[in-house]
Structure 1
Amino acid sequence: MDQRADPPPTWIRLDTAERNRYWWRTALVTLTFTGIAVTAGLTTQAADRWWSVGSIAVFYSLILLTLVNQVNGATCLTPEGMEFRTFFTRRSVPWSEVTAIEKRLRTVRSGTWSEIRVVRVKGRALTVPGAYTARWHDARFEAKLATIRQHWARAAEG
């Protein structure tokens, strides 16, 4: 009779060094948008100035919310499934709904990003919070991917 104890929940999130690196990136983006807003404010006519600066501020606010959401995101792996937690949302995905766990590369102007996606039986694939990197051959990222796949395989056995 197999009486294995359920493993404790495992957290997938950015560690301190990764969070600090992405906070510096957020600071750089903030400085860039501040410069753009100041330039727009100084170069546009008075009647259009607030529209220009306001539009830039609204656009930057959306970007800032996305960056904060990424840095604060985490995933809890339990025997029942995955719990995604971000700054704004909470979502659970049972292991029975998962059909694949894949590494996805996204290439944008600033470089190539790797992220982990959970493909579900029904519905769209979901990005795993706390598991992304902009580095090639990132051992921490690969360890997170392996941990998620191990939990999924363990759930499939039981």
Structure 2
Amino acid sequence: MTLVIVGIGLLPFASSRDLSLGNRSSLLALITTILLPCIFYSINRMLGITLLTPEGMQLRTLVSRRRIPWDDITKIEVERRSGQGGPWQVVRVHVARGRPVVLPGAMQSLRGQDEAAFQRSVNMIHSCWQQATAQHRSAAT
């Protein structure tokens, strides 16, 4: 989708044989407007962290903080994604109310990174969720 938007934005420049200073500035502004948010989003996701606490998950990125109590989580899954940088995996948490949340810092490139370490992290998240929800169920009965 990003490439389609860039392509549409570059159409006026494709037919122009000379790139005057004004056209170059417009081209630079267009590329900056599209590329910088994409780069920031990726860095924000990679540098973010997910802390597991007895109460739930604390998601921290460069610009946001969020808490998700264990009881609000309905499903935890690994989602495979792909893009120009190649395939990667992320951990998605489904919550009772709202859209699924991709956990910051919990991602793995499928280009030679340690898949066993990623899987250990996923298993730890599942284990903490199951223990916390089991304790809440046993306390309620």
TM-score by length of 2: 0.76
Query: Deviation of residue 110 (structure 1)?
Result: 2.9
The aligned counterpart of 1:74 is: 49
* CA–CA separation in structure 2 for the residues paired with 1:108 and 1:49: 28
Aligned-CA RMSD value: 1.5
* CA–CA separation in structure 1 for the residues paired with 2:69 and 2:40: 27
What SS is found at the alignment partner of 2:92?
A: strand
The aligned counterpart of 1:114 is: 89
Gaps of 5+ in 1: 1-42
The aligned counterpart of 2:80 is: 105
Quick check: 55-64 or 96-105, which moved more? 55-64
Answer whether contact 2:90 2:108 (CA < 8 A) is retained: yes
The aligned counterpart of 2:134 is: 157
* CA–CA separation in structure 2 for the residues paired with 1:128 and 1:87: 13
Q: Which amino acid aligns with 1:54?
A: A
The aligned counterpart of 1:87 is: 62
Query: Deviation of residue 155 (structure 1)?
Result: 0.3
Quick check: 43-52 or 118-127, which moved more? 43-52
Gaps of 5+ in 2: 1-17, 136-141
User: Alignment partner for residue 117 of structure 2, among 125, 140, 143?
Assistant: 140
Q: Percent identity?
A: 30
TM-score by length of 1: 0.68
Structure 1 consecutive aligned stretches of length 4 or more whose deviation exceeds 4 Å: none
